[in-house]
Amino acid sequence: MTILQRYIAKTILSTTGLVMLVLLGLYTFMDFVTELDDLGKGSYQIVEVLSYIFLSMPKRIYELLPVAALLGSVLGLGHLATQSELVVMRAAGISIQRISKAVLIVAIALMLVAVFVGEVIRPPAEQKARELQSIAQTGTVGSRSDHGFWTRDGKHFNHISRILPDGRFSDISIYEFDAQNRLRIITEAQDAKYEDDVWILSDVQQSILDSDGVEIQAVEYARWKSKLNPGLLNVVIVPPDFLPVWGLVEYIDYLKDNQQAVGQYQLAFWMKVMMPLSSAVMVFLAVPFVFGPLRSAPMGGRIVAGTLIGISFHLFNQSFQHIGLVFGVFPMLAASLPTLIFAGIGYYLMRKIH
């Protein structure tokens, strides 16, 4: 990498960082105002609100990265153009292709940032934020709904009312069916604790159904062997788009083994795969802004155009993914098509200016 390429890359990265700080500050303030509606619910006080907002910042950074990449690149290259530095570079024989290589360096750097934030920082931070909020407001770890959540494990259908802060289940019901899909056993327990690869149920009452009637048994403790372990438990109570790739892959396999719908989690998987590429595409879209039709436009016009394109991409990306999930579009296509369309637009505009 030449000194000139490092200079261009440094300029774009600095403006991208500045744009990210502005957007992050704006969205953080909006999140803070939203959380004030729940202030005082349980023990959810200002300290818990601020902690929740802080832990939610990686989520916002991850979501805003493509838009910040586009606006930051437009501002960075636009600044070089305004100062006539790009004109001097072109006059010195520096081609647009060589300038684009510096942009490629930025794109790769932002892809790495997206992967690091999305796979390393965001999942544990978001899980911690949701646990903190739920424990402060209700005293329990949040679940899929106010009425608990359901899981399937082979012929067993399990309902778990609450997840306690120490990882135990509370108020569990296990419905076991036979090969003819007839309900045979109903097991109810007050709580469950995971030890040595099994769940230990306490205060258990079991109803056995057969042709002669119902036999009820009560025991103090019982062992429950289930594929639902604490690792998968973290997947169940967290929305799929907040999970790391390896967590999604594990849970998709679990759902397939139990013949359950996997579309939502497959879509989240491909969204995570495409996210770094989306940031790179947004960076490359900035090059036609400077050397293409907007090269003579004032900085304000470029910012407005970049903002509109960034918002358009974000809305189209989110809308098409949800539409694809509703109408059964192949998850990989639903997650990748918006990025591929904007990549095609960028390629077409690059060809026009070469």
Region at 148 (left for phi over 0; alpha for psi -120 to 50; beta for the rest):
left
| Tens digit of each residue's pLDDT (9 = 90 or more) over 93-146 | 877 778 788 888 888 888 899 889 988 898 888 888 887 887 787 665 555 455
Task: Name the residue type at position 310.
Answer: G
Neighbouring residues of 316: CB distance < 8 A, sequence distance ≥ 6: 338, 341
pLDDT at residue 179 greater than cutoff 80:
yes
pLDDT number for residue 235: 60
Please compute Rg for the chain using Cα positions: 26
Q: In angstroms, rounded to a whole number, what is the distance separating the alpha carbons of residues 105 and 111?
A: 10
pLDDT number for residue 165: 64
Which of 6-10, 111-115, 256-260 is predicted least confidently?
256-260
| Tens digit of each residue's pLDDT (9 = 90 or more) over 24-81 | 999 999 999 999 888 888 788 899 999 999 999 998 999 888 888 888 888 888 888 7
Q: Does 134 or 23 have the greater pLDDT score?
A: 23
Q: Which two tokens stand for residue 321?
A: 């993914």
Q: In angstroms, rounded to a whole number, what is the distance separating the alpha carbons of residues 308 and 314?
A: 10
| Beta carbons of 96 and 289 less than 8 angstroms apart | no
| Tens digit of each residue's pLDDT (9 = 90 or more) over 285-338 | 877 777 765 555 566 676 677 778 877 887 888 788 778 877 878 888 888 898
CA nearest 79: which of 154, 10, 176?
10
pTM: 0.72
Q: In angstroms, rounded to a whole number, what is the distance separating the alpha carbons of residues 143 and 14?
A: 40
